[in-house]
Chains A and B, each alone.
Chain A
Amino acid sequence: MITAGIDVGSLATKVVLLNENQLMSHEVSGTGVDATEAVKKAMDTALEKAGISFKDIESLVSTGAGKKKVPFESAQATEIICDTKGVSHICPGVNGVIDIGAENCRVIKCDQEGNIIDFALNDKCASGTGIFLDAMAKALRVKPEEMGELSLQATQDIEVTSMCSVFAESEVVSMIHRRVPKNDILRGIHRSIASRICGQANRILLEGQLVVMGGIAQNLGLITILKELMGSELIVPDEPEILGALGAALLAGEGEGEK
């Protein structure tokens, strides 16, 4: 059975196509202003990569902040369910998930079978999410993808105290003024965001073997500090941003969203 999972994130839209739970193809593209359009495009590309056409898909599940904007008929599921599903598929037996996306940070605690025990979502403040990092990257004039690497080359510990992403930005600017090395600032930023995430994880007593997913999981600098702070074993799978979409496609395989 061919199934599709669509994860419409606030920044990135992800599509995963599975055949009998085996990956056929996936696509990540920007969500932009028009989510509907973005989904269509991502879907077309994924279909093309897989060499099939839309009518071959038997079942569809969509998730993510923009799941209601998906233009195809599909079942909907929350990110918590899809994340857990996707994670326990590729890393069975883990104790939990940390999903850091653009505007969201979710922590999920689950048991060996992948049942959700507890979870916590971030509140309305943007600090502790991808957008915060993106803004900092901009202030420091580095690419978001490079931030992590650079922060690992830091030589001293400095503290970024503002939790508000907007104020943190000016704090960072003032550090640049004081000629604090970029790498050290980056490390400070990562530390501040990691402690925020750590606090969220603490709220549900998350520990043990954890998978980090979402776009930000690719940021090695953050992962390193997070590991240090949490004292947990953190696993970052390949292409961590598509796990939500993968989970959705797996759910579709379980009979949700059949056409």
Chain B
Amino acid sequence: MTTLERMIGILDAPEQVVMDWKAKGKKVIGYRCLYVPEEIIHAAAMLPYATLGTPEPITKADSYFQPCACEFVRNIFDLGLDGKFDFLDGLVLSNTCDAVRHLKNMWTTYIDSVPCYMLNNPQKMYDEPAFKFYRHELEGFKKTMEDLSGNKISDASLRESIDLYDETRRLLKELNGLRRRDVPPISGAEALMISMAAILMPKEETNALLLQLIDEVKTREIKDADGPRIMVTGSIIDNPTLIELVEDMGGVVVADDLCTSMKYFWYQTKPNEDPMDAIVRFNLERSVCACMHPSEERYDFLQEVIGEFAVDGIIYFNVKYCHPFVYESATFRKKLEEETPVLALEVDHSLSGLGQLKTRVQAFIEML
């Protein structure tokens, strides 16, 4: 089996990662959104586990959420109601959008099996008072994690965790950098799956695998690389189907702006600081999500990637009822379109109605 296959294979049964970890008698903390610092969880010797959705239709959650709440959140809640997250020792959400805020409300009210915490991250970037406030919140969060795990988090152990995660991010960035080539070594769908697997696995393992993987794919070339180069962006995508769809229609997905992929690893923490401050700055100086103010940083990131990866067209996949991204795509679209064509699509998180999407994507690719 190639390393690539091994990594992608992890997504077939992500719970296995958890079971292996739990077998060592250690705890697992679920988290939603990158504004929850994994490093702090890890420094308390627990496994941070990204709760991703499934394309299953939503059933039980519909009696709690009105159908106009974002489908991703309803999906997570559905899984929670079904006990699919019962292996978690806690769930941490961060303050990113109304949907997640309500997930916290609902979870606390209706799901007893897993305690749920809300981490109050500011929605303002680069702002000294926001740093200060966030630092306070993170101290509280650190305390909560210490209590939950029974382990103290020292500056040294936190530093170690940060270095470990930085290494993961560095390796992923190096790997994805190869996609700048005229003929990328990995497809967009593969890249997404590698990132997702890397996010889910304990980083010690991830890093070793990534090293091998970079070596392995260096000489690889994907087939059908003569189509237009596409960048995919939008709300969370936790399933390669949409990217595969773009690639089936002849697009070559070379880059993205997703929190499950490039946004996860694009940035590094700044060295030589107090480790808590390093995390504070890391989170408030990069922007992974449309929830942050202002949006310039995200726009600049798009521009940078468009240039570096020679992107011909951008496809926005906005999850239905995901308000932050819907607003932002409307705002960005106007500006981006002056140079790079943009296709903005609304998708159901459960991926229904792909037929209509196909026509649009195909037409867009023909247009390029």
Using CB atoms and an 8 Å cutoff, list the residues of chain A in contact with chain B. 161-163, 171, 195, 198-199, 202-205
- Pick from A163, A171, A198, A205: contact of B355, CB under 8 Å: A171
Give Cα A171–Cα B67 distance, bound, in whole angstroms: 24
Q: Which residues of A contact B354 (CB under 8 A)?
A: 161
Interface flags, B44-64, vs A, CB<8A=1, else 0 = 000000000000010110110
Q: Which residues of A contact B67 (CB under 8 A)?
A: 199
A132 to chain B, nearest CB (A): 16
> B352 near A: Cβ within 8 Å?
yes
- Pick from B63, B353, B355: contact of A202, CB under 8 Å: B63
State the interface size on chain B (CB cutoff 8 A): 10
Q: Which residues of A contact B63 (CB under 8 A)?
A: 202-205
B360 to chain A, nearest CB (A): 15
Give Cα A205–Cα B67 distance, bound, in whole angstroms: 15
A251 to chain B, nearest CB (A): 30
Besides the contacts A161-B353, A198-B59, A203-B63, what 10 more A-B pairs have beta carbons closer than 8 Å? A161-B354, A162-B353, A163-B352, A199-B62, A199-B67, A202-B59, A202-B62, A202-B63, A203-B62, A204-B63
In the bound complex, do residue B352 and residue A202 qualify as a contact, i.e. CB atoms below 8 Å apart? Answer: no
- Pick from A161, A162, A202, A204: contact of B60, CB under 8 Å: A202
A214 to chain B, nearest CB (A): 22
Give Cα A162–Cα B62 distance, bound, in whole angstroms: 19
In the bound complex, do residue A199 and residue B59 qualify as a contact, i.e. CB atoms below 8 Å apart? Answer: yes
Give Cα A219–Cα B249 distance, bound, in whole angstroms: 41
Residue of B nearest to A199 (CB): B62
A169 to chain B, nearest CB (A): 13
In the bound complex, do residue B352 and residue A161 qualify as a contact, i.e. CB atoms below 8 Å apart? Answer: yes
Give Cα A202–Cα B63 distance, bound, in whole angstroms: 5
Q: Which residues of A contact B59 (CB under 8 A)?
A: 198-199, 202
Give Cα A203–Cα B353 distance, bound, in whole angstroms: 23
Q: With A203-B62, A203-B63 given, is the CB distance from A195 to B353 under 8 Å?
A: no
Query: Can you list 10 A-B contacts with CB-CB less than 8 angstroms, sorted by A residue number?
Result: A161-B352, A161-B354, A171-B355, A195-B57, A198-B59, A202-B59, A202-B60, A202-B62, A203-B62, A203-B63
Most buried by A among B59, B63, B355: B63
B231 to chain A, nearest CB (A): 27
Most buried by B among A162, A199, A205: A199
Interface flags, B237-281, vs A, CB<8A=1, else 0 = 000000000000000000000000000000000000000000000
Q: Which residues of B contact A204 (CB under 8 A)?
A: 63
Give Cα A203–Cα B63 distance, bound, in whole angstroms: 4
Give Cα A203–Cα B62 distance, bound, in whole angstroms: 6
Q: Which residues of B contact A205 (CB under 8 A)?
A: 63
Q: Which residues of B contact A162 (CB under 8 A)?
A: 353
A212 to chain B, nearest CB (A): 19
Residue of B nearest to A204 (CB): B63
A127 to chain B, nearest CB (A): 12
Give Cα A199–Cα B67 distance, bound, in whole angstroms: 10
Give Cα A4–Cα B62 distance, bound, in whole angstroms: 39
Give Cα A1–Cα B300 distance, bound, in whole angstroms: 80
Residue of A nearest to B63 (CB): A202
Residue of A nearest to B348 (CB): A161
A85 to chain B, nearest CB (A): 26
